[in-house]
Each structure stands twice: as C-alpha cells, then as structure tokens.
Structure 1
Amino acid sequence: MMEIIEEKLAADEQNPGNYELLWRAARGYLFLGDYAGESKEKLRLYEKGKEYAELAVAANSQGYEGFFYLGVLIGSIGEERGVMNSLFMVKPMRNALERCLEIDPERPLAYNPLAQLYWKAPGRPLSIGNIKTALQLAEKLVTLSPDSPYDWYIYGCIALATKERDLAMEAFTKCLSFPEDPEDPRLDREAKESARAELDKLKK
C-alpha cells in the first residue's frame, strides 16, 4: 500500500502537494509504526509519517486529516522517546490537534489524543498537563463518539485519575458493551482487556 501511495506522489509532478495522498501516506506510516516490533523501527516509521503530515498541512491549511495525523505522529514519537525526553514536542502536538478542533469541533477524532496529552504530560511549570482539561475533553469525546470502546476506555482512565470512581466504572462498563471496530479492532480489543482488568480492581 505505501509503495503505491509513494509511487503516485512521485508521479504526480503537476500537483506535488496532493493533500489527499500526503495525509494518507502519513496515516499509513502511523499504522506501520504501531505494528512494528523494535522501538528504533517504530521511530523511523513515525518520523517518515510526520514528514508526510507536515507536507499535508503545508498543502492544505484547512485540512483536518493533515493536522490530526501530524499531532498523533508527534505524540507517537514522544511516547517512544519517553515523556521527559520529549517535552519540547508537547506544544507542537497540542497546536496541531487544537487546529483540528478549530476546523471541525464536532468531529471526534482529535479529542482522544488531545485528552491523553493533557492527562499524561507533566503539569506546570514543566509542561501543560491538566487533568481537569483532560476530563472535559474526554467527556466531549464520548459525547461525539458514543459507541467507541477505545474512547470510553480513555474516558474511564482519565476519570480514574481524577478519583471519580463511579464515573470510571461507568465508562469501563460502556467500553465493554460496544462491538470492536471491524476495520481495525486492535485498539478496541486492547481497550476492552484493560477495561475489564480495571473493573475487576475497582470491584474488589
């Protein structure tokens, strides 16, 4: 698949900034990086995807997908490097994802990684971490995406971090109640396994 996309990009001399191909290339490298084994290979693939995402946003400053994959790829690179080694990447990630909200505030995709960013990043003065903001974003996420197991799982984790035990239990239960995405079930399957484990701990 990636070979086909790159061949099309190379052949499209009259339109080198083909936005649709560029963001799809970024998405493809994100997918490959997620499934790669070694951290070094993950980073190589994520970095390649980030390059395409940067080209996508340069080609279309109103394109939701370009900014979304730019933000997610920055976050993926940061996770592989470790939080404390990647603090300089927090603001570019936030800026890309918040641009998505400006373009289309009713589209749910960007709320998940943005909520996770505010949840996982260190708080001030080191970084922008803010658990209350994370919870607000997660609430908006499940409002816009009410049947996603993965989104409910993230909401539950953030609720748990704010010591909202009942809310966390409700979110984890919701996570288990919805079917997995048939096109890419990995995240939903992993979310359900983790949600089940969290519920077991909360019920003890």
Structure 2
Amino acid sequence: MNPQTLHRFNTPFWRVSALALVIVLLTLAGGSRADAPPPSVVALQHGWAQAFYAPEGAAREPAFQALEAQAAKAVAELPGRAEPLIWQGIIESSHAKFASSLTALSLIKQAREHLQAAEKIDPAALDGSVYTSLGSLYAKAPGWPLAFGDKKLARSYLEKALKLNPDGIDPNYFYGELLVAQGEREAGKARLEHALAAAPRVGREDADNGRRAEIRTALAALN
C-alpha cells in the first residue's frame, strides 16, 4: 500500500465528517435568503417596473391597485420577512405619484408604516432598500401640516442606504436628486453620474433601464 493510500485510511472519521459539515454549511450560507428574494417578491419587482415606467399613464392606476393586492398577499404569506413589506411600501409610495391628492396622502402614510415595519425586521434587506425608500419618501412627501416630509431626515436615511450600498443605482440617484433640490448642484451631479455608472443588477434590467432614463433626464436638466 502506498503512503497516500495509507494516509487516506488512517484519517480519523471525525475529521472527514467535520469537513463535510463545513462544506454543507458553506453551501447553505451561499444560498441564504439574503441572496435571492422569494419568487413573490421578484414578481413584485417586475410588476412595479412595468407599472411605474408604463408608457401609457392611464394604465398605471389599475396596475398599481393590482400590485397593492399582490403585495398584501406576499406579506401575509411571508410573515416576519422584510422584503415583501419593503415592496409593499415602494408600490404604495410610487402609486401616490400618479394618484389624486387625497389618495396620495393616504398612500404615503401607509407606505411609511410598511417601510418602518420592515426596518424593524431587517434594515439591511435588499441592500438597504428600506433606507433608500424611506429617504425618498421623506424627501418628496409634503411637509407639516399636510404630511411628514422632512429633508433633513430624508438625507439621514439616504446616507444610511449609501453605507449599505455605496455603488447602488437607487440610493445614489435619490441622494443626488435631494442634493440638487437643496442647492448642492455639483455634489448632486456627481451622485447622479455615479448612479448612471452603477453595475447592472441581474434580474432587474427593466428597473435599471427606467432608472437610467430618469438619471439622464436629471443630468440633462443640470447641464
């Protein structure tokens, strides 16, 4: 028997078992829930992109109403998960952009509640999207006495989002937009350019295409 064969037979069983256990654990870690959103959340992502960037404005209202029902179902089916709550808030806040004034106020309040609930569960879920969404919401909501808009709080949330996802297209876009609105044109422009250069997100091509169009429009307005 050669030395290599002898070494293999003399290796204690517990070492082999421990090695196998480590491999299994690493495999499970690689497929953790943080890496791949549940299918119902993926469906919400694509549904949102189709509704938000729809070429026909009239089609948005029924599309967002259907998405809100779909999001509520996903939240009910995935209790204790932040991802469906985040998308429920995103859908409601996006719907508000196209709704009547009274409906919009109700939607942004619901959106804030759902995003804050998600924040309590896992603020780092979906690359910190809860902070990006809350930042955008506080930046664009009317201030008191109509609603809760607060540019200072918006900035704080977006800075948290950027710590979690410094090169992300969304946090850089919304932070750049806020900086421009507050008179910091050059800093805002730099953020918008950084957002435009963000790496494509696998499976989010529809959202990336629409967001890049928004960024180009914002940059053109600055130039």
TM bucket (normalised to shorter chain) is: 0.7 to 0.9
1:159 to 179, 182, 207: 179
Q: Which moved more, 1:50-59 or 1:145-154?
A: 145-154
Supply the distance in 2 between the matched residues of 1:139 and 1:187 (Cα, whole angstroms): 23
Which of 120, 131, 140 is the aligned partner of 1:120? 140
Aligned residues: 182
Q: Which has the higher contact order (CA 8 A, sep 6+)?
A: 2
For residue 67 of structure 1, report the CA deviation from its aligned partner.
Answer: 0.3
**1:162: how far off?**
2.4
Secondary structure of 2:80's match? coil
- Identify the match of residue 109 of structure 1 among 125, 129, 132: 129
1: distance between equivalents of 2:218 and 2:55? 24
Please give the alpha-carbon distance, in whole angstroms, between the structure 1 residues aligned to 2:160 and 2:174: 12
| CA-based RMSD | 2.5
- The reply on whether 1:56 has 2:79 as its aligned counterpart is no
Mean alpha-carbon deviation: is it higher for 23-32 or for 60-69?
A: 23-32
Query: What is the TM-score normalised by the length of structure 1?
Result: 0.77
**For residue 146 of structure 1, what is the aligned residue in structure 2?**
166
Q: Summarize the Cα distance change of 1:78–1:161 in structure 2 as closer, same or farther, 3 Å threshold.
A: same
Deviations 1:40-85 (A, max 9, x none): 3221121111112112222233112210111111112211114554
| Structure 1 portions without partners, runs of 5+ | 1-18
User: Counterpart of 2:169 in structure 1: which amino acid?
Assistant: P
- Contact kept in structure 1, 2:85 and 2:114, CA below 8 Å: yes
SS in 2 for 1:80: coil
2:207 equivalent to 1:187: no
Over 3 Å counting, the alpha-carbon distance change for 1:28 and 1:197 in structure 2 is closer
* Distance change in 2, residues 1:109/1:84 (3 Å): same
Match of 1:8 in 2: none
Write out per-residue CA displacement over residues 87-117 of structure 1, whole angstroms, 9 at most, x where no aligned residue.
Answer: 1122110011112221112231122222111
TM-score by length of 2: 0.71
Q: Which runs of 5 or more structure 2 residues have no equivalent in the other structure?
A: 1-36
Q: Could you tell me how far apart the structure 2 residues matched to 1:84 and 1:105 are?
A: 29
Aligned residue type for 2:54 = A
Is 108-117 or 75-84 further displaced after alignment? 75-84
Cα shift at 1:197: 1.9
Identity among equivalent pairs (%): 26
